[in-house]
């Protein structure tokens, strides 16, 4: 399995291969702007990536160096050319909420989440509105697509995210769901090259006051979904707005279980740790209430 990630280090953007544990040596490759995108869109992406990194200037740092700032996978310098969206109720565990209409097959429920600059990597706070009703963490598989110059989307790999949102608004009225989704989204910096995994398992730990307040397991792999991955993608790219030339699309594929299903409520300052143990990826972020509280 090939894994790539990008970092900003002393004002420049670098590519790294694999996952280096904190304290271990980590090699950074200085690819030209757009170099990673070009390699992944080639007919033989692994070979193009190997050639690009072999030819690029490189340096070695220590993994976990505070000057290393991880970046969301393939995030363009102009973050307005990246879109974050996803789907509701996609898992087999939520089959009761998957309904057909007029005798036709069920249609995946797509939602808008934000633009690329709204993504947050591990270690940064996840800012939510000042007065959330009931926040919910959602450990999800995230698919990454890059549109070519003709606007044709090309799948380049997958990662993992935390679709933090206010499910309390949805429970008041589903019409409030779009505004409930307007919370920061965490994403792993690691882009896994290859087909979406059938299983992607791990554990969520919610820490409060330095101690574990809730723990739960999850599976966000393709086999846990009621919908096929290709049907989710087909639904997303049926919208012309998602097929604009050069756009990077991050598609969240849904979550099976969360702390909400145990009646647990997130609070300001809670630390969310999502360990995708099957893939060696960890997302750790703190919830931060923001904005301005209403007069009410």
For the chain, helix, strand, coil in percent to 5 are 20, 40, 40
From 54, 70, 86, the end of a domain falls on: 70
Give the confidence band of 221 by pLDDT, cuts at 50, 70, 90: very high
**Least confident residue range of 91-95, 149-153, 159-163, 260-264:** 91-95
Q: Are residues 153 and 246 in the same domain?
A: yes
| Whether the predicted pLDDT of 9 surpasses 50 | yes
pLDDT for the residue 292: 60
CA–CA separation, 25 vs 181, rounded Å?
Answer: 38
pLDDT in tens, 158-209: 999 999 999 999 999 999 999 999 999 999 999 999 999 999 999 999 999 9
pLDDT in tens, 93-139: 888 888 888 888 899 999 999 999 999 999 999 999 999 999 999 99
Burial class (CB in 10 A: 0-12, 13-18, 19+), 67: exposed
From 52, 70, 88, the end of a domain falls on: 70
Q: State the chain's mean pLDDT as an integer.
A: 94
From 49, 70, 91, the end of a domain falls on: 70
Range of the domain at 36: 2-70
* pTM passes above 0.85: yes
Q: Are residues 25 and 160 in the same domain?
A: no
């Amino acid at each position: 399995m090939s894994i790539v990630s990008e970092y900003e280090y002393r004002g420049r953007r670098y590519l790294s291969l694999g996952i280096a544990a904190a304290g271990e040596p980590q090699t950074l490759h200085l690819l030209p702007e757009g170099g990673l995108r070009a390699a992944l869109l080639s007919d033989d992406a692994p070979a193009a990536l190997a050639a690009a990194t072999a030819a690029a200037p490189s340096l070695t740092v220590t993994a976990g160096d505070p000057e290393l700032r991880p970046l969301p996978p393939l995030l363009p310098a102009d973050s307005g050319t990246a879109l974050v969206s996803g789907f509701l109720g996609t898992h087999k565990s939520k089959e009761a909420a998957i309904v057909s209409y007029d005798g036709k097959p069920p249609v995946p429920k797509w939602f808008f989440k934000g633009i690329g600059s709204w993504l947050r990597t591990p270690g940064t706070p996840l800012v939510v509105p000042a007065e959330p009703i009931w926040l919910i963490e959602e450990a999800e598989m995230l698919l990454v697509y890059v549109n070519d110059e003709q606007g044709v989307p090309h799948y380049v790999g997958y990662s993992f995210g935390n679709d933090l949102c206010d499910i309390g608004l949805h429970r008041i009225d589903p019409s409030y769901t779009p505004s409930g989704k307007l919370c920061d989204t965490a994403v792993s910096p690691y882009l896994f090259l290859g087909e979406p995994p059938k299983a992607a398992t791990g554990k969520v730990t919610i820490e409060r006051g330095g101690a574990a307040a809730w723990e739960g397991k999850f599976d966000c792999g393709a086999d846990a979904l009621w919908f096929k991955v290709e049907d989710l993608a087909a639904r997303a790219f049926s919208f012309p707005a998602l097929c604009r030339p050069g756009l990077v699309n991050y598609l969240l594929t849904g979550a099976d279980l969360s702390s909400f299903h145990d009646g647990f409520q997130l609070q300001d300052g809670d630390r969310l740790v999502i360990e995708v143990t099957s893939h060696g990826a960890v997302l750790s972020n703190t919830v931060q209430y923001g904005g301005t509280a209403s007069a009410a």
